[in-house]
Chain A
Amino acid sequence: MPAPLIVTENLSKTYHIGGGDVRALVDLSIAIPNGEMIAIMGPSGSGKSTCMNLLGCLDSPSGGSYRLDGQDVAQLDSDALASIRNEKIGFVFQQFNLLARATALDNVELPLTYGRVPRRLRHDKAARALEAVGLGERMDHRPSQLSGGQMQRVAIARAIVNSPQVLMADEPTGALDSRTGAEIMALFQRLNGEGITVIVVTHDEHVAAHAKRILRFRDGRLVSDEPVAAPIRAADAVAAMAVPEAA
């Protein structure tokens, strides 16, 4: 059996503010194998984002250890972390975080510019990623010319353009209506089916029910870690919703 993609031991994060300490994440020890689709659940302030930022190598832990793809992340300097984020991780944010002045294609190319991919190849890869999320026709549109769902698709195309091992999404459907949210979840499930590990942070039970496994946090602690017996198939829901509209 191959080593899990993500292994943490007593991973912790404490913020020192004003007089007291905020223990945002307390002794998290989990293992996430390749190909998993995970939902991180919990009420607001329970440490979900903190956990995701640590797993995404955006933030450094206050304690414990973290191995990503066999590599001890604590040992790495900021350049090495940057190249891990560039090559192994794809991020999707609640607010999309697209560059307003750039076209969809340019936005998707951005990770490739930091990965020393030659210009010609970048265009091809970015175009393919946009086609994969169903935006082949919208490559020259700017974010202001796209709907919320389309913007999130551009963001997902940007996250997968460099063929990462894991996709990390913090409240990816938080700014979308339920139907568009379902489309985004369908896209995640499809990508997961193609082999990418997916981690989705959400406080929405319905969104979490699309995952194969749910981690629940409260006050910075992992309180439950359970598989989902029958994940919702988002594609079915999308199809069901599409029918009345077509009629």
Chain B
Amino acid sequence: MTYGDCIRASITALKANLLRSILTSLGIIIGISSVIAMVAIGAGAESRVKESIESLGSNIMIVLNGSRTTGGARGGTGSNITLTEEDAAALQRDVASVEVAAPSVQGRFQLVFGNTNWSTNIHGITEEYMTARNWQVDQGRGFNDTEYRSAGKVALIGATVAEKLFPGEDPIGKVIRINKVPVQVVGVLAAKGQTPFGQDQDDTSFIPITTAKKRVLGGRWVKSNLVSQITVKVRDAQDVAEAEREVTTLLRQRHRIPEGGQDDFNIRNISQFLAARAESTRVMGILLASVAAISLVVGGIGIMNIMLVSVTERTREIGLRMALGARRRDILTQFVVEAITLSLLGGLIGVALGIGGSHLIAKTGDWPVLIEPQAIMMAVGFSAAVGVFFGFYPARKASKLDPIDALRYE
């Protein structure tokens, strides 16, 4: 009996019990379709996250102030301010892989315009910051050298701030108050949207670092060269790890930290977030695989069950086939092929439903889905494997029947 004969015989047998065949495949159908849909959704989410992480800049590193340890109690990050503008200058000058190192200060303040107000993060920046974070000015202009150097009373506001403070109005040229200090809005920043972690990047405003220290933050900042953070842009994203080591070495040297002493600064980069993403993707993958495995095993047991029933029901047919010259191998093949047909049928219906479901989710939920051909091939391959694995025992049972007993079976 050729495989073609086996497949034809299987289809005839499955069609004879169509409803039962479909019900039997249900386990596989549900398993495969949910896995296909979940993988598609996961892959879609992954691609969206990757996109937005890359928009943040994968070659960006942020150096933050470290924590102070007082009598064993450690303060939070930034409680011990040691980073200086000279550190930033040194990083840019002495570390070859660093393109720019931008010092900045920051604080949260209320902005007031007329009788509207809005609290946001104010960054005191230098020109390098604009380069490092790739900020563009959408309307108006950026700060000029004089404003940077001599504490000009000017501000660049983010798109969200513009929307909140100046609904339906042109913000350019308007005077707002930051912590009671009047500054003129000279430009609106081009919108960047959300970070992968859900923060609105456009809810921000910039003023020159000199202005921030002298006029807004005041107090100890006025005459100091300290900064809140240094944003470092590495020339090539591949050199981030190497640059991080060099930056660490240089800063430890400059801060005179003895060997074995703790850093008084923290370095954050996007690749750490990427690593965290990779980890959560891995966990998601394991979860999906276990869902798939469980549903395939359950589906497989369903198939095994129905194949055992089928072998019993068709005992006389098996006996007849043996009497007509079927070898044990022919019977084995016939029933294994039948089980594979059943599970493949389930797999294919499952793939179709999974793709349909994914598209439905994509449409209704405005959620990106990505159907990968490998996922489909895996699904089909696994459902066939389930057929072989769970069909083998019933088929073997059929092939071991004694021809005469089978023929006489009532």
Q: Are B325 and A53 in contact (CB under 8 A)?
A: no
The chain A residue with its CB closest to the CB of B6 is A113
Known: A58-B403, A82-B326, A102-B12. A110 touches B321 (CB 8 A): yes
* Residue A177, interface by CB 8 Å: no
The residue from B12, B321, B327, B328 contacting A101, defined by CB atoms under 8 A apart? B12
Q: Which residues of A contact B326 (CB under 8 A)?
A: 82, 114
Q: How far is the CA of A113 from the CA of B3 in the complex (A)?
A: 11
Interface residues on B, range: 20 to 34
Q: Which residues of A contact B323 (CB under 8 A)?
A: 56, 58, 85, 91
A194 CB → nearest B CB, Å: 21
Known: A58-B403, A114-B1. A82 touches B325 (CB 8 A): yes
- Mostly helix, strand, loop or mixed at chain B's interface? helix
Q: Are B12 and A114 in contact (CB under 8 A)?
A: no
Q: Which residues of A contact B327 (CB under 8 A)?
A: 78-79, 82-83, 114
* Residue B274, interface by CB 8 Å: no
B322 CB → nearest A CB, Å: 7
Q: Which of A50-107 touch B at CB < 8 Å?
A: 53, 56, 58-59, 78-79, 82-83, 85-87, 91, 93, 97, 99, 101-102
Q: Which of B325-341 touch A at CB < 8 Å?
A: 325-330
* Residue B360, interface by CB 8 Å: no
Known: A101-B13, A101-B16. A111 touches B325 (CB 8 A): yes
What per-residue 1/0 map shows which CB atoms of B1-15 lie under 8 Å from chain A? 110010000001100
* Residue B283, interface by CB 8 Å: no
Q: Are A113 and B328 in contact (CB under 8 A)?
A: no
Q: Are B1 and A113 in contact (CB under 8 A)?
A: yes
A103 CB → nearest B CB, Å: 11
* Residue B324, interface by CB 8 Å: yes
- Mostly helix, strand, loop or mixed at chain A's interface? helix
Q: Are A97 and B320 in contact (CB under 8 A)?
A: yes
* Residue A158, interface by CB 8 Å: yes
Q: Are A113 and B322 in contact (CB under 8 A)?
A: no
* Residue A115, interface by CB 8 Å: yes
Q: Which residues of A contact B324 (CB under 8 A)?
A: 85-86, 91, 110-111, 114, 158
Q: Which residues of A contact B2 (CB under 8 A)?
A: 113
Q: Which residues of A contact B322 (CB under 8 A)?
A: 58, 82, 85
The chain A residue with its CB closest to the CB of B324 is A111
The chain A residue with its CB closest to the CB of B322 is A82
Interface residues on A, range: 20 to 34
A146 CB → nearest B CB, Å: 17
Q: How far is the CA of A162 from the CA of B325 in the complex (A)?
A: 11
Q: Which residues of B contact A101 (CB under 8 A)?
A: 12-13, 16
Q: Are B325 and A85 in contact (CB under 8 A)?
A: yes
Q: Which of B199-253 touch A at CB < 8 Å?
A: none
Q: Are A58 and B407 in contact (CB under 8 A)?
A: yes
* Residue B177, interface by CB 8 Å: no
Q: Are B13 and A114 in contact (CB under 8 A)?
A: no
Q: Are B404 and A58 in contact (CB under 8 A)?
A: yes
The chain A residue with its CB closest to the CB of B400 is A78
Q: How far is the CA of A83 from the CA of B325 in the complex (A)?
A: 5
Q: Which residues of A contact B330 (CB under 8 A)?
A: 114
A234 CB → nearest B CB, Å: 25
Q: Which residues of B contact A162 (CB under 8 A)?
A: 325
Q: How far is the CA of A209 from the CA of B407 in the complex (A)?
A: 28
Q: Which residues of B contact A110 (CB under 8 A)?
A: 321, 324
* Residue B170, interface by CB 8 Å: no
What per-residue 1/0 map shows which CB atoms of B310-354 lie under 8 Å from chain A? 000000110011111111111000000000000000000000000
Q: Which residues of B contact A87 (CB under 8 A)?
A: 325
Q: How far is the CA of A97 from the CA of B407 in the complex (A)?
A: 9
Q: Which residues of B contact A114 (CB under 8 A)?
A: 1, 321, 324-327, 330
Q: How far is the CA of A101 from the CA of B12 in the complex (A)?
A: 7
Q: Which residues of A contact B407 (CB under 8 A)?
A: 58, 93, 97
Q: Which residues of B contact A86 (CB under 8 A)?
A: 324-325
Q: Are B316 and A115 in contact (CB under 8 A)?
A: no
Q: Which residues of A contact B5 (CB under 8 A)?
A: 113
What per-residue 1/0 map shows which CB atoms of A104-140 lie under 8 Å from chain B? 0000001101110000000000000000000000000
Q: How far is the CA of A59 from the CA of B328 in the complex (A)?
A: 15
B252 CB → nearest A CB, Å: 80
Q: How far is the CA of A83 from the CA of B329 in the complex (A)?
A: 12
Q: How far is the CA of A97 from the CA of B16 in the complex (A)?
A: 18
Q: Which residues of A contact B1 (CB under 8 A)?
A: 113-114
Q: Which residues of A contact B328 (CB under 8 A)?
A: 78-79, 82
A238 CB → nearest B CB, Å: 28
The chain B residue with its CB closest to the CB of A88 is B325
A90 CB → nearest B CB, Å: 9
B112 CB → nearest A CB, Å: 85
Q: Which residues of B contact A115 (CB under 8 A)?
A: 325
Q: How far is the CA of A115 from the CA of B330 in the complex (A)?
A: 11
Q: Are A97 and B316 in contact (CB under 8 A)?
A: yes
Q: How far is the CA of A79 from the CA of B329 in the complex (A)?
A: 9
Q: How far is the CA of A83 from the CA of B326 in the complex (A)?
A: 8
Q: Which residues of A contact B403 (CB under 8 A)?
A: 58-59
Q: How far is the CA of A91 from the CA of B404 in the complex (A)?
A: 12
Q: Which residues of B contact A53 (CB under 8 A)?
A: 404
- Not counting A82-B328, A113-B5, a sample of 11 additional A-B residue pairs whose C-beta atoms are within 8 angstroms of each other reads A56-B323, A58-B403, A59-B404, A82-B322, A83-B325, A113-B2, A114-B324, A114-B325, A114-B326, A114-B327, A114-B330
Q: List 5 A-B contacts (CB under 8 A).
A: A59-B404, A78-B327, A79-B329, A82-B322, A110-B324
